[in-house]
Amino acid sequence: MRKKLFLISFVFISICSFSQRSSIDTFLSDSSLIHASVSIFIADPDNGEIIADYNSGKSLIPASVMKLITSAAALELLGPYYTFKTTVGYAGSINKKSGKLIGDIVIRGGGDPALGSKNFTENYQDFIGKWISEIKKLGITRIDGRIISDDSYYDYLPIPDKWLWEDSGNYYGAGVYGLSVFDNMYEIHFKTSVDSTHPVITEIIPNECKFELKNRLIANGTTDKGNVFAAPYSKNGWMAGSIPSNKEDFILKASITDPPLLLAKILNDRLLAEGIKISKEPTTARLEQKSLIEPIVPVTETLSPPLSEIIKVLNHESINLYAETLLKELGKRYKNKGSTSEGIAVVNDFLHNAGIKTEGLFIEDGSGLSPLNAINSRELVNLLIYMKRTGKYFKEYYASLPYAGVEGTLKGWFMDPVFDSRLKAKSGSMTRVRNYAGYFATVSERNMVFSIIVNNYTSPSKNIISGIENILKEITVTK
Domain assignment present for residue 71? The answer is: yes
Q: What angle do CA 132, 134, 135 make, to 5 degrees?
A: 65
* Cα separation, 438 vs 325, whole angstroms: 23
Q: Which helix (H) or strand (E) holds 228?
A: strand 225-229
* Cα separation, 23 vs 28, whole angstroms: 9
* Cα separation, 155 vs 157, whole angstroms: 6
* Cα separation, 346 vs 332, whole angstroms: 10
Q: Which amino acid is located at 472 in the chain?
A: L
Domain assignment present for residue 96? The answer is: no
Count the neighbouring beta carbons within 10 Å of the beta carbon of residue 416: 15
Q: Are 300 and 330 in the same domain?
A: no
- Residue range of the domain that includes 354: 6-81+308-478
Domain assignment present for residue 92? The answer is: no
Does the bond joining 206 to the residue before it have cis omega, within 30 degrees of 0? yes
Partners of 93 in the β-ladder: 102
Q: What is the pLDDT of residues 109-129, one digit of tens each?
A: 999 999 999 999 866 668 999
Backbone φ and ψ of 375, nearest 5°:
-140, 175
Q: Are 106 and 251 in the same domain?
A: yes
Q: Are strands 50-54 and 37-43 parallel, antiparallel or unpaired?
A: antiparallel
Q: Cα torsion for 189, 193, 194, 200, to the nearest 10°?
A: -60
**pLDDT score of 293:** 62
Partners of 188 in the β-ladder: 204, 252
How many domains, the chain? 2
Written as tens digits, the pLDDT of the chain (479 aa) is: 343 444 444 433 334 444 445 899 999 999 999 999 999 999 999 999 999 999 999 999 999 999 999 999 999 999 999 999 999 999 999 999 999 999 999 999 999 999 999 999 866 668 999 999 999 999 999 999 999 999 999 999 999 999 999 998 999 999 999 999 999 999 999 999 887 788 999 999 988 888 778 999 999 999 999 999 999 999 889 999 999 999 999 999 999 999 999 999 999 999 999 999 999 999 999 998 765 567 899 999 999 999 999 999 999 999 999 999 999 999 999 999 999 999 999 999 999 999 999 998 999 999 999 999 999 999 999 999 999 999 999 999 999 999 999 999 999 999 999 999 999 999 999 999 999 999 999 999 999 999 999 999 999 999 999 999 999 999 999 98
Q: Are 318 and 348 in the same domain?
A: yes
Q: Are 273 and 362 in the same domain?
A: no
Query: What are the distances in angstroms from CA 307 to CA 78, 180, 387, 458?
Result: 8, 16, 17, 38
Domain assignment present for residue 142? The answer is: yes
Q: Are 22 and 159 in the same domain?
A: no
Q: Are 472 and 458 in the same domain?
A: yes
Three-state DSSP at 352 gives: helix
Q: Are strands 283-284 and 147-150 parallel, antiparallel or unpaired?
A: parallel
- Could you say which of 305, 330, 351 is where a domain stops? 305
Closest to 379 in 3D by CA, of 38, 39, 27: 39
Q: Are 221 and 106 in the same domain?
A: yes
Partners of 197 in the β-ladder: none
pTM of the model as a whole: 0.93
CATH number of the structural domain spanning residue 58:
3.40.710.10
Q: Are 139 and 233 in the same domain?
A: yes
Angle between helices 127-136 and 259-273 (to 10 degrees): 50
Q: 25-64 burial by CB neighbour count: b if 16+ within 10 A, else e?
A: eebbebeebeebebbbbbbbbeeeebbbbbbbbbbbbbbb
**pLDDT score of 291:** 56
Domain assignment present for residue 293? The answer is: yes
Three-state DSSP at 356 gives: coil
**pLDDT score of 299:** 97
Q: Which helix (H) or strand (E) holds 471?
A: helix 461-478
Closest to 216 in 3D by CA, of 235, 230, 234, 206: 230
Partners of 151 in the β-ladder: none
* Cα separation, 123 vs 120, whole angstroms: 9
* Cα separation, 221 vs 223, whole angstroms: 6
* Cα separation, 311 vs 80, whole angstroms: 9
Domain assignment present for residue 226? The answer is: yes
Closest to 116 in 3D by CA, of 183, 174, 171, 205: 183
- Could you say which of 282, 305, 328 is where a domain stops? 305
Partners of 100 in the β-ladder: 95, 142
- Could you say which of 283, 305, 327 is where a domain stops? 305
Q: Which helix (H) or strand (E) holds 322?
A: helix 320-335
* Cα separation, 299 vs 101, whole angstroms: 13
Q: Are 467 and 366 in the same domain?
A: yes
Q: Which helix (H) or strand (E) holds 89?
A: strand 85-95
- Residues 6 or more apart in contact with residue 255 via CB below 8 angstroms: 168, 169, 170, 171, 173, 174, 175, 184, 185, 186, 228, 230
Q: Are 295 and 316 in the same domain?
A: no
Domain assignment present for residue 94? The answer is: no
Q: What angle do CA 90, 95, 97 make, to 5 degrees?
A: 140
Domain assignment present for residue 88? The answer is: no
* Cα separation, 57 vs 41, whole angstroms: 9
Q: Which helix (H) or strand (E) holds 166?
A: none
Q: Are 256 and 286 in the same domain?
A: yes
* Cα separation, 24 vs 469, whole angstroms: 11
Q: Are 375 and 300 in the same domain?
A: no
- Residues 6 or more apart in contact with residue 201 via CB below 8 angstroms: 188, 189, 190, 215
